[in-house]
Chains A and B, each alone.
Chain A
Amino acid sequence: MLGVAVTAVVLAACGSSGNGPVTVNWYVFPEPSGSFAKAAAGCSSASGGKYKISINFLSNASDQQRQTLVQRLAAGDPSIDILAMDVDWTAEFASAGWIRPWTGANAAAVSKGVLPGPLKTATYNGRLWAAPINSNTELLWYRKDLVPNPPKTWDQMINDSIKLAKEGKPHYIEEQGSKYEGLVVWFNSLVNSAGGGIVGPGNKVIVGPSAKIAAQIMKRLATSPAADPGLNTSEEGPGNNVFDAGQAAFEINYPFVWSGTQSTAPSIFKHMGYAPFPGVVPGMAPKVSIGGYNLGVSSHSTHPQLAFDAVKCLIGPQNQVTDAVKGGLAPVLASIYDEPAFEKSYPFHQLIKNQLENYGIRPQTSAYQDVTLAIQDTLQPASAIDPNTIVSKLANEIETALKGDSLL
């Protein structure tokens, strides 16, 4: 009797000396629908007491998120375990030694079934540095009542807009022309769609004729009636507001606008149609810059193995479906694109999948921060671009930026 009691006490003591579940800190952008929080809670209970994911929200501006993370990672902060990285931070964070590479079984687990585009964004120098959690790509949204057949190329779209302008109808093309990352997304999509690139492997600057074509399109849009007068400060949100207000005929934006317009401007939503991102070369499918987030594990984390496990759970298929349906975040697993629940809330899912398989990608270089600033510097405002000198200008600026010698 006494022996049993003593054993029970000893066992209980041993159990509690295990200290309960370890807190794994996840830093991520403030996901409004709560699906990330739900995933964190679900994974914590599924871990059987091994870990508890504590979700922490960063600012909603991508730049500010990076700033906060960089400040803490460079300071060796051990309280960050999992970080949600914008897809273009992979190269920088990896070269700086702030995130751990994924290897072996872990790497296989998080890359299985992932669409090629998102997977590429998590790779750098041949190694996998993060686990893709959600993706994003821009589509063409248009007013079916104004434009019965959506344009297939940028030139067509601008022509359509000019025609509408002459008829006195709403005609703006909403694009992101402010001096920020969105501008580089636009430029990069055009360059990739024209068959070229900006920075190649080994930090080699490969700006060429495709850049000139891209610049010409941007300039043409900015100086035609198609341009919204606020193009120079237009970002994703404000641009969609103009579309909702009925003043635009076309919008290049992310899928969040579908449910956004549905709730804010139902009368406009009635006529809202979707189409693939316009191409640059007739007949050649566009390659659109991939957006989205990847989950990395911090090098300073004190329980990396638990962090890897937590990430594997967070990106699980069920969570991805919830993220997609409730949160409007495009999944990275190919199989989800065939799920009925997903198809219902994402009628354009095939378009997205196509653009994630045949994808465009921004330069993957550790100096990306500087490169993007150099590109923004050269291309803003879009109306002032000189297509004849733009290629050499860009090449020079990017070269200097890669060396770290420029003030940007």
Chain B
Amino acid sequence: MKLERRAAMAALLAGRGDDLLVIPGLGSTAWDAASAGDNDRNFYLWGAMGGAAMIGLGLALAQPDCRVAVITGDGEMLMGLGSLATIGIQQPRNLAVIVFDNGVYGETGMQPSHTQAGVDLIGVARGCGIASCLDVRDEKELADLARRLQNLRETLFARVQIAAEEPPRVLPLRDGVALKNRFRVAIGIETRPVGAQERSGQCGFEPL
């Protein structure tokens, strides 16, 4: 019996703490994250397929005192497999890439993905030099992943084997500028949610 995706997302994000920053990948994982409770520290992707893990890397390098969780689907991850190689040589201690793997492209009609035909994302991640790789198949292993995420101190990759199902969509905010600005306000980079021109002290060059 494979894990149910909404319950798996809720388990990973329960009691998340302000230092957990989440990049939910394009498609079902974004709806899953929204269903677990909207949060300013979620940067939902409505596009940029294949880019979730790299957004997570840039964020993890910029915010070394925060934990960053990229939570995306197998199709989205397959489009950016090279990013696992890039992450493998950077090894940030605060980045987890978690793939909800159901073996299908859920948003486009449940067509089979490469993982259903045997492509092994754990093997890819390990081959890219990510030493900590978890294969999550049941509740116990999910609880272990949630604990590892709570105490993240290494680059972590996890595949969460979920059932191929389509729970009702829970759509988050889709205005990209608003998502970006509220995220930056939440982590204290911006002091108020305003446009670029109105920001004080933010010109091209930083004060010397």
Are A and B a genuine interacting pair, yes or no? no
B residues adjacent to A (C-beta < 8 A): none
